[in-house]
Amino acid sequence: MAILGSKTSDEQGKQEETFHFPTSKSALIIFTRNPELGKCKTRLAATVGDEAALAIYTFLLKHTVEITSPLYADKFVYYSEKIRSGDIWDPEIYSKRLQQGDDLGIRMENAFKEVFQLGYQRAIIIGSDMYDMTANDIDNAFEQLKTNDFVIGPAEDGGYYLLGMKKIKSAIFYHKTWGTDTVLHDTLLDLKEENVVLLDKKNDVDYYEDIKNIDAFQGFFPEELRKKQQ
Protein backbone atom coordinates (compact mmCIF):
# COMPACT_ATOMS: atom_id res chain seq x y z
CA MET A 1 0.00 0.00 0.00
CA ALA A 2 1.32 3.40 -0.87
CA ILE A 3 1.38 5.04 2.50
CA LEU A 4 5.01 5.90 2.83
CA GLY A 5 6.12 9.29 4.09
CA SER A 6 8.50 11.19 6.33
CA LYS A 7 8.21 13.53 9.28
CA THR A 8 8.61 17.24 8.54
CA SER A 9 6.65 20.41 9.20
CA ASP A 10 3.86 21.94 7.13
CA GLU A 11 4.15 25.07 5.00
CA GLN A 12 3.72 27.36 8.00
CA GLY A 13 6.10 25.34 10.17
CA LYS A 14 3.35 24.08 12.46
CA GLN A 15 0.71 21.39 12.66
CA GLU A 16 -2.90 22.20 11.85
CA GLU A 17 -5.30 22.73 14.73
CA THR A 18 -5.83 19.29 16.31
CA PHE A 19 -9.27 19.82 17.85
CA HIS A 20 -11.79 17.53 16.24
CA PHE A 21 -15.33 16.61 17.20
CA PRO A 22 -16.32 13.10 16.04
CA THR A 23 -19.51 12.99 14.00
CA SER A 24 -19.60 9.19 13.69
CA LYS A 25 -18.11 6.11 15.34
CA SER A 26 -15.93 5.38 12.30
CA ALA A 27 -12.70 7.05 11.19
CA LEU A 28 -11.13 6.67 7.76
CA ILE A 29 -7.38 7.35 7.66
CA ILE A 30 -5.88 8.14 4.26
CA PHE A 31 -2.10 8.12 3.95
CA THR A 32 -0.90 10.20 1.04
CA ARG A 33 2.43 11.24 -0.37
CA ASN A 34 2.77 14.88 -1.35
CA PRO A 35 2.49 14.94 -5.17
CA GLU A 36 5.87 16.32 -6.24
CA LEU A 37 7.83 15.63 -9.41
CA GLY A 38 10.38 12.89 -8.90
CA LYS A 39 9.15 12.04 -5.39
CA CYS A 40 6.08 9.89 -5.97
CA LYS A 41 5.54 6.55 -7.68
CA THR A 42 9.28 6.13 -8.21
CA ARG A 43 9.00 2.47 -9.21
CA LEU A 44 6.40 3.38 -11.81
CA ALA A 45 8.51 6.36 -12.90
CA ALA A 46 11.40 4.05 -13.72
CA THR A 47 9.38 2.93 -16.76
CA VAL A 48 7.04 5.82 -17.62
CA GLY A 49 9.15 8.78 -16.47
CA ASP A 50 8.73 11.26 -13.63
CA GLU A 51 6.16 13.50 -15.34
CA ALA A 52 3.89 10.62 -16.33
CA ALA A 53 4.22 9.09 -12.85
CA LEU A 54 3.20 12.37 -11.25
CA ALA A 55 0.22 12.70 -13.61
CA ILE A 56 -0.87 9.15 -12.82
CA TYR A 57 -0.53 9.71 -9.09
CA THR A 58 -2.56 12.94 -9.33
CA PHE A 59 -5.23 10.96 -11.19
CA LEU A 60 -5.21 8.34 -8.42
CA LEU A 61 -5.53 11.04 -5.76
CA LYS A 62 -8.65 12.37 -7.52
CA HIS A 63 -10.05 8.85 -7.64
CA THR A 64 -9.44 8.47 -3.90
CA VAL A 65 -11.27 11.72 -3.20
CA GLU A 66 -14.19 10.60 -5.37
CA ILE A 67 -14.67 7.29 -3.56
CA THR A 68 -14.05 8.54 -0.02
CA SER A 69 -15.79 11.91 0.15
CA PRO A 70 -19.36 10.45 0.19
CA LEU A 71 -18.62 7.87 2.89
CA TYR A 72 -20.40 8.07 6.24
CA ALA A 73 -17.22 8.22 8.33
CA ASP A 74 -15.00 11.00 9.61
CA LYS A 75 -12.06 11.33 7.26
CA PHE A 76 -8.43 12.12 8.05
CA VAL A 77 -5.78 12.69 5.41
CA TYR A 78 -2.23 12.20 6.65
CA TYR A 79 0.38 13.94 4.52
CA SER A 80 3.84 12.45 4.05
CA GLU A 81 5.80 15.69 4.24
CA LYS A 82 3.75 18.88 4.37
CA ILE A 83 0.16 19.76 5.17
CA ARG A 84 -1.20 21.64 2.18
CA SER A 85 -4.00 24.18 2.04
CA GLY A 86 -6.06 24.79 -1.09
CA ASP A 87 -5.35 21.35 -2.52
CA ILE A 88 -7.55 18.45 -3.56
CA TRP A 89 -8.43 17.56 0.04
CA ASP A 90 -11.37 19.77 1.05
CA PRO A 91 -10.91 20.78 4.72
CA GLU A 92 -14.69 20.72 5.13
CA ILE A 93 -14.54 16.97 4.46
CA TYR A 94 -11.03 15.91 5.47
CA SER A 95 -9.22 16.66 8.70
CA LYS A 96 -5.58 17.22 7.77
CA ARG A 97 -2.73 15.68 9.73
CA LEU A 98 0.98 14.96 9.30
CA GLN A 99 2.43 11.45 9.45
CA GLN A 100 4.61 11.00 12.52
CA GLY A 101 7.41 8.45 12.86
CA ASP A 102 10.57 7.20 11.23
CA ASP A 103 9.08 3.96 9.91
CA LEU A 104 5.88 3.15 8.03
CA GLY A 105 4.63 0.88 10.79
CA ILE A 106 5.21 3.50 13.47
CA ARG A 107 3.45 6.14 11.36
CA MET A 108 0.44 3.89 10.90
CA GLU A 109 0.30 2.99 14.58
CA ASN A 110 0.50 6.67 15.56
CA ALA A 111 -2.35 7.53 13.21
CA PHE A 112 -4.56 4.77 14.63
CA LYS A 113 -3.73 5.82 18.18
CA GLU A 114 -4.64 9.41 17.38
CA VAL A 115 -8.10 8.64 16.01
CA PHE A 116 -8.89 6.20 18.81
CA GLN A 117 -7.90 8.86 21.32
CA LEU A 118 -10.40 11.14 19.62
CA GLY A 119 -13.16 8.70 20.55
CA TYR A 120 -13.66 6.56 17.44
CA GLN A 121 -14.66 2.92 17.83
CA ARG A 122 -13.66 1.70 14.38
CA ALA A 123 -10.76 2.87 12.20
CA ILE A 124 -9.56 1.97 8.72
CA ILE A 125 -6.40 3.04 6.93
CA ILE A 126 -5.90 3.10 3.17
CA GLY A 127 -3.36 4.54 0.77
CA SER A 128 -4.20 6.93 -2.04
CA ASP A 129 -3.23 4.91 -5.11
CA MET A 130 -5.85 2.15 -5.30
CA TYR A 131 -7.65 2.42 -8.63
CA ASP A 132 -9.37 -0.95 -8.01
CA MET A 133 -10.95 0.20 -4.74
CA THR A 134 -14.51 1.54 -4.54
CA ALA A 135 -16.61 3.30 -1.92
CA ASN A 136 -18.55 0.04 -1.48
CA ASP A 137 -15.32 -1.77 -0.57
CA ILE A 138 -14.65 0.69 2.25
CA ASP A 139 -18.27 0.63 3.40
CA ASN A 140 -18.11 -3.16 3.51
CA ALA A 141 -14.90 -3.02 5.56
CA PHE A 142 -16.54 -0.75 8.14
CA GLU A 143 -19.54 -3.09 8.22
CA GLN A 144 -17.24 -6.06 8.89
CA LEU A 145 -15.72 -4.20 11.84
CA LYS A 146 -19.09 -4.16 13.57
CA THR A 147 -18.73 -7.87 14.29
CA ASN A 148 -14.97 -8.44 13.89
CA ASP A 149 -11.92 -6.87 15.48
CA PHE A 150 -9.77 -6.63 12.36
CA VAL A 151 -10.30 -6.41 8.62
CA ILE A 152 -7.64 -6.61 5.91
CA GLY A 153 -7.75 -6.02 2.18
CA PRO A 154 -5.04 -8.22 0.64
CA ALA A 155 -3.05 -6.84 -2.29
CA GLU A 156 -1.92 -9.06 -5.13
CA ASP A 157 1.72 -8.18 -4.44
CA GLY A 158 1.67 -9.76 -0.98
CA GLY A 159 0.93 -6.62 0.98
CA TYR A 160 -2.41 -5.07 1.86
CA TYR A 161 -4.39 -2.09 0.57
CA LEU A 162 -6.66 -1.68 3.60
CA LEU A 163 -6.25 -2.31 7.31
CA GLY A 164 -9.06 -1.82 9.80
CA MET A 165 -9.38 -2.42 13.52
CA LYS A 166 -11.38 -1.79 16.67
CA LYS A 167 -8.35 -1.97 18.96
CA ILE A 168 -4.63 -1.38 18.71
CA LYS A 169 -2.48 -4.45 18.14
CA SER A 170 1.05 -3.06 18.18
CA ALA A 171 2.72 -6.23 16.88
CA ILE A 172 1.35 -5.73 13.37
CA PHE A 173 3.25 -2.46 13.00
CA TYR A 174 6.69 -3.82 13.85
CA HIS A 175 9.25 -6.23 12.40
CA LYS A 176 7.91 -5.95 8.86
CA THR A 177 9.86 -5.50 5.64
CA TRP A 178 7.49 -2.89 4.20
CA GLY A 179 6.95 -2.91 0.47
CA THR A 180 7.69 -6.63 0.09
CA ASP A 181 5.57 -9.72 -0.51
CA THR A 182 5.92 -10.87 3.11
CA VAL A 183 3.89 -8.10 4.73
CA LEU A 184 0.45 -9.73 4.56
CA HIS A 185 1.74 -13.13 5.67
CA ASP A 186 3.62 -11.68 8.63
CA THR A 187 0.66 -9.50 9.62
CA LEU A 188 -1.71 -12.47 9.62
CA LEU A 189 0.72 -14.36 11.84
CA ASP A 190 0.53 -11.49 14.34
CA LEU A 191 -3.27 -11.74 14.22
CA LYS A 192 -3.60 -15.53 14.39
CA GLU A 193 -5.35 -15.32 17.77
CA GLU A 194 -7.63 -12.47 16.69
CA ASN A 195 -10.95 -12.24 14.88
CA VAL A 196 -9.94 -11.22 11.34
CA VAL A 197 -11.87 -10.85 8.08
CA LEU A 198 -10.15 -10.81 4.70
CA LEU A 199 -11.68 -8.78 1.88
CA ASP A 200 -11.32 -9.44 -1.84
CA LYS A 201 -7.78 -9.36 -3.19
CA LYS A 202 -7.00 -6.28 -5.30
CA ASN A 203 -4.17 -4.87 -7.37
CA ASP A 204 -2.43 -1.69 -6.26
CA VAL A 205 -0.42 0.60 -8.52
CA ASP A 206 3.34 0.35 -8.04
CA TYR A 207 4.75 -0.68 -11.41
CA TYR A 208 3.95 -0.09 -15.08
CA GLU A 209 2.91 -3.75 -15.35
CA ASP A 210 0.14 -3.10 -12.82
CA ILE A 211 -1.67 -0.68 -15.13
CA LYS A 212 -0.34 -1.22 -18.66
CA ASN A 213 -3.56 -2.93 -19.79
CA ILE A 214 -6.02 -0.61 -18.02
CA ASP A 215 -7.74 1.81 -20.42
CA ALA A 216 -7.93 4.66 -17.89
CA PHE A 217 -4.12 4.97 -17.83
CA GLN A 218 -3.28 4.72 -21.52
CA GLY A 219 -3.31 8.46 -22.09
CA PHE A 220 -0.62 9.00 -19.44
CA PHE A 221 1.99 6.75 -21.04
CA PRO A 222 4.82 8.16 -23.18
CA GLU A 223 4.35 7.61 -26.89
CA GLU A 224 7.15 5.04 -27.13
CA LEU A 225 5.40 2.83 -24.54
CA ARG A 226 2.08 3.09 -26.34
CA LYS A 227 3.77 2.05 -29.58
CA LYS A 228 5.26 -1.03 -27.90
CA GLN A 229 1.79 -2.12 -26.83
CA GLN A 230 0.39 -1.94 -30.34
- Give per-10-residue mean pLDDT for the chain (230 aa): 39 48 87 90 92 95 96 95 92 95 95 96 95 96 97 94 97 93 96 96 91 92 74
Q: Where are the beta strands (DSSP E) in the chain?
A: 26-32, 74-79, 94-98, 122-126, 150-154, 160-165, 196-198
Q: Which of 131, 155, 125, 138 is nearest to 64 (CA)?
A: 131
- Residue 186, classified by CB atoms within 10 Å of its CB into exposed (0-12), middle (13-18) or buried (19+), is middle
pLDDT (0 to 100) of residue 225: 79
pLDDT (0 to 100) of residue 223: 81
Q: Are 166 and 121 in contact (CB under 8 A)?
A: yes
pLDDT (0 to 100) of residue 12: 42
- Residue 146, classified by CB atoms within 10 Å of its CB into exposed (0-12), middle (13-18) or buried (19+), is exposed
- The single-letter code of the amino acid at 109 is E
Structural domains of the chain ordered from first start: 26-229 (3.90.550.10)
Q: Which of 133, 126, 128, 164 is nearest to 32 (CA)?
A: 128
Rounded to whole angstroms, the Cα distance separating 211 from 218 reads: 9
Rounded to whole angstroms, the Cα distance separating 38 from 18 reads: 31
pLDDT (0 to 100) of residue 136: 96
Contacts of 150 (CB under 8 A, 6+ apart): 163, 164, 165, 166, 169, 191, 194, 195, 196, 197
Q: Which of 50, 39, 43 is nearest to 82 (CA)?
A: 39
pTM: 0.89
